[in-house]
Amino acid sequence: CVSITLWHPQRHVGGMCHYLLPSRTRRDSMPLDGRYANEAIQLFDQAIQRTGLAPREFEAKVFGGGNMFNAQSTRPQFDIGARNVEIALQMLMERKIPVLAEHHGGKGHRKLVFDVQTGDVWITFQNSDAEDLKKTTSSSWPLHPSTS
């Protein structure tokens, strides 16, 4: 899964999405589904349009894309987390939305809190890789616009 936060630093408005997969085959008659990256971004586009602000005025932060399972497959087509992160960064770049902070990859899960008033994001990463557990089991810190 990947989460993207968008925040407008002057207007103090923003939002967050959390999607599971890069895309799906969707007919025009079907409603947008935020579980898919391309559709979650379209929902962001609609929300931004309702504000009357330009997408490039927002700031983004991208999280997730970790391997939740101890699968040994190294085949890129099965690395859904990496594909989810790649599509997030690509779609943000296409909209000229700057990415101010990123925390993705690894083995484990993240929890995050997004403060829409300040744009701050607090993240906790629980690393499930046995080798890395010796080094750190979890970490929590705020990610501010000046920190990547």
Residue count (the chain): 148
Query: Quick one: average pLDDT of 14-37?
Result: 93
pLDDT score, position 128 = 63
Give the least confident one: 12-21, 70-79, 128-137: 128-137
Element (H, E) at 108: strand 108-114
**CA contacts within 13 A on the Cβ side of 94:** 10
In the chain, count H helices and then E strands: 3, 7
Provide the 3-class DSSP secondary structure of residue 7.
strand
Q: What is the mean pLDDT of residues 4-30?
A: 94
130 has a pLDDT exceeding 90: no
Kindly report the average pLDDT of the chain as a whole number. 84
Residue 55 in this model has a pLDDT that exceeds 60? yes
Looking from the CA of 137 toward its CB, the CA atoms found within 13 Å total 0
User: What pLDDT is recorded for position 71?
Assistant: 55
Q: Is the pLDDT of residue 129 over 70?
A: no
Q: What is the structure's pLDDT at 126?
A: 79
pLDDT tens track for 66-107: 876 665 555 656 688 899 999 999 999 999 999 999 999 888
Band the pLDDT of 141: cuts 50, 70, 90.
very low
pTM score of the predicted model: 0.82
